[in-house]
Amino acid sequence: MITEKIAIVRCFDYSKDKIRNAIEKIFNLLQPDFSSGILLKPNMLSARSPEQSVTTHPIVLEVLSEMLPRPVYIGDSPPNTQKSIEYYWETCGYKEVAVKTDAELVKLEGKSTVFNLGIAGRNVSFPVSDFALSKPIFNLPKFKTHNITVLTVAMKNLYGLIPGYPKGLLHTQFPEPEMFNHFVVEMYRVLEKRVVFNLVDAIEIMDGNGPASGSKRYYGYLIAGKNAVCVDLVCTVCAGLKISQVPFLRIYESLYGIPEIEIVGDSPEIMKDFRPPSSSAIFKMQNNLVFSKALRKIANQLNIIPVINHNVCMKCFECYRVCPVKAISNDLKIDRKKCINCLCCFEVCPHRAIEVKKSFLAKIILP
Residues contributing to the site for ligand SF4 (CB under 6 A)? 306, 308, 313-319, 322-323, 325, 327-328, 332, 334, 339-345, 349, 351, 353-354
Q: Given the complex with ligand SF4, which of 18 and 167 has the nearer CB atom?
A: 167
Instruction: Check if the beta carbon of residue 95 is closer than 8 Å to that of residue 86.
Output: yes
Q: Given the complex with ligand SF4, which of 70 and 363 has the nearer CB atom?
A: 363
Strand (E) positions, the chain?
A: 3-10, 38-42, 72-74, 104-105, 112-119, 122-129, 137-140, 144-146, 150-152, 195-207, 215-225, 260-265, 304-308, 354-358
> What's the min distance (Å) between Cβ of 354 and ligand SF4?
5
What whole-number distance in Å separates Cα of residue 2 and Cα of residue 270? Answer: 25
> What's the min distance (Å) between Cβ of 72 and ligand SF4?
33
> What's the min distance (Å) between Cβ of 336 and ligand SF4?
9
Instruction: Check if the beta carbon of residue 347 is closer than 8 Å to that of residue 168.
Output: no
> What's the min distance (Å) between Cβ of 58 and ligand SF4?
24
DSSP tag of 73: E
Give me the long-range contacts of 84-89 (CB less than 8 A, separation at least 24): 85/109, 87/47, 88/44, 88/46, 88/47
Q: Given the complex with ligand SF4, which of 341 and 359 has the nearer CB atom?
A: 341
What 3-state class would DSSP assign to 177?
helix
Q: Given the complex with ligand SF4, which of 113 and 329 has the nearer CB atom?
A: 329
What whole-number distance in Å separates Cα of residue 30 and Cα of residue 26? Answer: 6
Q: Which of 76, 184, 72 is nearest to 126 (CA)?
A: 184
Q: Given the complex with ligand SF4, which of 242 and 315 has the nearer CB atom?
A: 315
Q: Given the complex with ligand SF4, which of 313 and 365 has the nearer CB atom?
A: 313
> What's the min distance (Å) between Cβ of 285 and ligand SF4?
20
Pairing of β 104-105 and β 112-119: unpaired
What whole-number distance in Å separates Cα of residue 52 and Cα of residue 213? Answer: 9
> What's the min distance (Å) between Cβ of 260 and ligand SF4?
39
What 3-state class would DSSP assign to 12?
coil
Q: Given the complex with ligand SF4, which of 25 and 321 has the nearer CB atom?
A: 321
> Before 42, cis peptide (omega within 30)?
no
What whole-number distance in Å separates Cα of residue 315 and Cα of residue 13? Answer: 35
Residues in the chain: 367
Q: Given the complex with ligand SF4, which of 249 and 362 has the nearer CB atom?
A: 362
> What's the min distance (Å) between Cβ of 23 and ligand SF4?
35
DSSP tag of 13: S
> What's the min distance (Å) between Cβ of 245 and ligand SF4?
22
